[in-house]
A = this chain, B = another copy of it.
């Protein structure tokens, strides 16, 4: 099929299965063809991190792909825009369900391959490196990778050409005139696409509520050089390991302050190694091993650490807890958080900073020093992008609803004829005719719960969450054949205060002292919950089982 073939009956549709209505778990599907025999491509395949509040015990959340699995033979490929976890983190988990080729630029390939190796899938998955600025063709989709800037090497905007028109899928981006590492935004190519004519732009909404511009990595570098140059004692800097340009800025700042760089934390070493393997960080200084770092005088060392989000197992948390084997910080030392607070992580991060403060360490953050810029476009950058691409349709993605709706409102202000807010599972027909939501696919989420992949709707995390609110009680009643108690009731009570436990036991014995009915188990359950509620104001989950001997 190519552009000469008539597209009578064919439709171009966009279907987000993740990332539209939330930040994270990006998973975007494009379909082309008649409804019954569409060819599909998937753009990005990311995860969301589980949260103790909403999904206790769940590490990763990813889209439920059952819709695509049903048309698996028509899924032509997974195309990755860049290497952040919320864009690539689900590949190793979902690929076995889709089994299609994967395409990405070399740095992203490197990161994905490592994940596939960990999952033992490296022999099975065909992953094709695409050069920067390269093109691939997948059935009716011709996909051009256009270099852009973000907060990781090799971010790409995709120009997806189809017989029904071109869609520009921006991926995550900003306009950084001096990104320090890799290419600048290829704005001439983007303008050219706009001149060619673009049907729709599917665009990053993360900072649609932020006025102005995101700022350049080069400005952060200058500030870091000044700041680190002014410090005495040991200096530790924590940053997102995937922001390789930032790592280089920090290393340069260290060098100009006559400090040696020590990489602390597995992700930090891994990311530097991946960057070097793909041709980046050629001037990165030789790093000192953690084990040897203790030998360096305090004024001549800089630790580059994982753990900017307060993650309990990351390097900085272990240092703050005094549990790191090779790095210790104390009075007179400084930790710089060259990062932002990801929503939901504030209390963990503050707890980490408090532990550092308790040791006498000075903590500097983006609140008090210019040590971070966002990787996503603020409104002036969005305006520039719309002026280049001039799409007929704007589809905001990569954001919560408040970001998507504001992005759509802004796009309309910028004279984009149509802006459509769709959330995960809503299928938008882009062509032919007026763009509109034409279908709702079954949308759901998968939880990586421990090592087991389960459906969110099966409710294991939700069930555990309710245990955490009011605890759990189980009661086993052993009856003989005459339905009389053959032993003392067995009680299990978890997370229930003693006074409440006692009231529940009394209530159970009360029921057992009466005439035993057929519904004994239910009678006991209700009595126990009612007793708890009376004294406690909360009802634990209660299970009752009868055993006959």
The residues of A with any CB-CB pair to B shorter than 8 Å are 21, 51-54, 56-57, 209-211, 343-344, 346-347, 350, 353-358, 360, 363, 367-368, 400-402, 404-406, 449-452, 454, 458, 460-461, 463-465, 467-472, 474, 476, 478, 480, 486-488, 490, 492, 494-497, 499-500, 535-538, 541, 543, 545, 547-549
Contact = CB atoms under 8 A, between A and B. Distances in A.
Contact of A547 (B52, B344, B490, B541): B490
Contacts of A543: 492, 494
A209 B367 contact: yes
A137 to B, nearest CB: 38
As for how many copies of this chain the complex holds, the number is 2
12 contacts: A52-B469, A353-B400, A357-B400, A357-B404, A449-B497, A449-B536, A450-B470, A450-B500, A452-B536, A463-B494, A478-B487, A487-B549
Sort A-B residue pairs by CB-CB distance and give the 8 closest, nearest first: A464-B495, A468-B468, A56-B468, A450-B536, A354-B401, A450-B538, A476-B476, A467-B467
Q: Is the interface of A mostly helix, strand, loop or mixed?
A: mixed
A460 B57 contact: no
Contact of A344 (B346, B454, B545): B346
Given A401-B358, A464-B495, A470 B343 contact: no
Contacts of A476: 476, 490, 545, 547
A53 to B, nearest CB: 5
Given A468-B468, A478-B478, A492 B460 contact: no
Given A52-B468, A451-B537, A469-B56, A460 B496 contact: yes
A339 to B, nearest CB: 16
Contacts of A357: 400-402, 404-406
Nearest to A365: B209
Given A52-B53, A401-B357, A467 B487 contact: no
A400 B350 contact: yes
Contacts of A492: 474, 492, 543, 545
Contact of A57 (B468, B474, B548): B468
Contacts of A449: 497, 536, 538
A466 to B, nearest CB: 9
Contact of A495 (B347, B363, B461, B497): B461
B494 A363 contact: no
Nearest to A354: B401
A458 to B, nearest CB: 7
Given A492-B492, A549-B487, A471 B478 contact: no
Given A353-B402, A487-B547, A57 B470 contact: yes
Nearest to A405: B357
A545 B490 contact: yes
A52 B468 CA distance: 8
A193 to B, nearest CB: 30
Contacts of A494: 463-464, 467, 472, 541, 543
